């Protein structure tokens, strides 16, 4: 592990050595291998660091990190590729997402995401205060899932946003942002969209939802449950969601049902365009097959467009950068 004069530590070689270890449950965490000081909440192994010139640096004490590195998982094959692919699809649907990509190393692949709770000012990186909706709602760490009974899912998040004046990313409508996120999570097979995966940035423009992050198609892993982290309308299981559940969710978010159904069809078409333009392989192909099945479900739903076309609140999507 290289130590620089200013207190930084280059841990790129440590990461490569970790990737070369046997891929099993006995492998230590990447975080402990690099002897990092600060951790990030969550069950997945991850390393906060500075990504600079193809190297990964642990900063000097007090210096903000700029990126988060997630290595492969011994329990969920293809997890970095899964998350990168899902965020690429979300971006194709026009959703604001964390800037991220894959770093293909000699002995494995890393998922690398740029921190959205940082800003650059006069050549310095500054932290932006953030908290997730679990914290906003005053929940215990173990209560991030709606099944805990401690909060009411997406409608509770919407009510908290309205009560605290939290806007969508870029000052947009928070209800539409939450609705778009719910539609995409269902289409992408992400059953783990819990309160901890919606964050709020407290910047100079006032509180706003952060870009989407931690989106994974959990449905491609047969050992994971199909129960939704937060219900969609009256459905608590992803396999049971129907058109009427999104109609109910629209009412709970004070949106016209036609608006949310139109959004489901819009995302369906955006997903098919992206999948046709960039055929996937490996884990991406597994996710793509599931997404197409969900898109086929939406084909059977009422399509209120153009009679009830809703304004898409975000800028046109851009491609997810690859490292």
Instruction: List pLDDT tens digits, range 231-258.
Output: 999 999 999 999 999 999 999 999 999 9
Instruction: List pLDDT tens digits, range 258-290.
Output: 999 999 999 999 999 999 999 999 999 999 999
Q: What angle do CA 86, 38, 168 make, to 5 degrees?
A: 45
Residue 210 reports pLDDT greater than 80:
yes
Residue 141 reports pLDDT greater than 90:
no
Whole-model pTM? 0.91
Residue 317 reports pLDDT greater than 80:
no
Which has the closest alpha carbon to 71: 20, 120, 119?
A: 20
The CA-atom distances, in angstroms, between 121 and each of 127, 153, 209, 304 are 10, 36, 21, 45
Residue 168: the pLDDT is 97
Segment 153-177 mean pLDDT: 97
- 45: pLDDT confidence band, cut at 50, 70 and 90? confident
Residue 119 reports pLDDT greater than 60:
yes
Residue 305: the pLDDT is 80
Grouping H, G, I as helix, E, B as strand and the rest as coil, residue 5 is: coil
Residue 316 reports pLDDT greater than 70:
no
Fold entry, domain 128-299: 1.10.1070
For 9, which DSSP code? E
Q: Which residues pair with 212 in a beta bridge?
A: 97
Residue 320 reports pLDDT greater than 50:
no
Residue 224: the pLDDT is 93
Residue 319 reports pLDDT greater than 70:
no
* Beta strand pairing call for 206-209 and 199-203: antiparallel
Residue 216 reports pLDDT greater than 60:
yes
Residue 310: the pLDDT is 65
Q: Is residue 195 exposed (0-12), middle (13-18) or buried (19+ Cβ within 10 Å)?
A: buried
H-helix segments, the chain: 12-20, 30-33, 79-92, 133-136, 154-164, 174-187, 243-252, 257-277, 283-299
Residue 51: the pLDDT is 95
CA distance 126 to 107: 33
Which has the closest alpha carbon to 207: 159, 164, 160, 172?
A: 164
Residue 2 reports pLDDT greater than 60:
no
**Domain locations in the chain as residue ranges:** 2-114, 128-299
Instruction: List pLDDT tens digits, range 82-103.
Output: 999 999 999 999 999 999 999 9
Non-local CB neighbours of 90 within 8 Å, separated by 6+ positions: 97, 184, 188, 212, 215
| Residues labelled as active-site residues | 192
Which has the closest alpha carbon to 189: 319, 321, 50, 286?
A: 286
CA distance 304 to 193: 27
Grouping H, G, I as helix, E, B as strand and the rest as coil, residue 288 is: helix
CA distance 67 to 125: 12
The CA-atom distances, in angstroms, between 225 and each of 45, 63, 92, 237 are 20, 39, 27, 9
Residue 3 reports pLDDT greater than 60:
no
Segment 307-314 mean pLDDT: 63
Residue 42 reports pLDDT greater than 90:
no
**Token pair of 70 as six digits:** 């997630």
Longest dimension (CA), the chain: 64
CA distance 244 to 125: 46
Q: Which residues pair with 208 in a beta bridge?
A: 167, 201
Average pLDDT value over all residues in the chain = 91
Are residues 275 and 286 in contact, defined by beta-carbon separation less than 8 angstroms? Answer: no
Are residues 56 and 234 in contact, defined by beta-carbon separation less than 8 angstroms? Answer: no
Residue 124 reports pLDDT greater than 80:
yes
CA dihedral 82, 85, 89, 91 (to 10 degrees): 110
Return the higher-pLDDT residue of 43 and 206. 206
For 298, which DSSP code? H
Provide the CATH number for the domain formed by 2-114 in this structure: 3.30.200
């Amino acid at each position: 592990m290289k130590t620089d004069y200013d207190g930084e530590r280059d841990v790129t070689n440590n990461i490569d050595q970790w990737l070369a270890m046997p891929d099993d449950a006995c492998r230590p965490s990447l975080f402990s291998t690099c002897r990092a000081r600060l951790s990030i909440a969550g069950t997945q192994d991850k390393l906060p660091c500075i990504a600079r010139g193809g190297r990964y640096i642990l900063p000097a004490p007090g210096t903000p990190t700029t990126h988060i590195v997630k290595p492969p998982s011994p329990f969920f094959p293809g997890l970095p590729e899964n998350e990168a692919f899902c965020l690429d699809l979300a971006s194709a649907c026009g959703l604001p997402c964390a800037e991220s990509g894959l770093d293909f190393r000699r002995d494995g692949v890393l998922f690398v995401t740029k921190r959205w709770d940082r800003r650059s000012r006069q050549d310095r990186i500054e932290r932006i205060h953030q908290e997730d909706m679990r914290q906003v709602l005053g929940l215990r760490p173990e209560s991030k899932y709606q099944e805990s009974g401690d909060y009411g899912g997406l409608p509770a998040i919407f009510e908290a946003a309205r009560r605290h004046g939290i806007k969508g990313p870029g000052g947009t409508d928070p209800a539409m942002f939450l609705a778009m996120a719910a539609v995409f999570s269902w289409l992408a097979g992400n059953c783990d969209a819990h309160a901890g995966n919606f964050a709020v940035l407290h910047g100079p423009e006032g509180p706003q939802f952060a870009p989407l992050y931690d989106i994974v198609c959990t449905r491609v892993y047969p050992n994971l449950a199909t129960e939704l982290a937060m219900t969609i309308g009256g459905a608590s299981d992803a396999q049971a969601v129907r058109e009427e559940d999104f109609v109910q969710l629209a009412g709970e978010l004070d949106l016209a049902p036609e608006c949310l159904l139109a959004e489901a069809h819009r995302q369906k078409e955006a997903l098919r365009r992206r999948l046709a333009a960039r055929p996937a392989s490996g884990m991406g192909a597994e996710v793509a097959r599931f997404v197409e099945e969900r898109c086929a479900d939406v084909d059977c739903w009422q399509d209120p467009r153009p009679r009830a076309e809703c304004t898409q609140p975000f800028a046109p999507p851009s491609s997810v950068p690859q490292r």
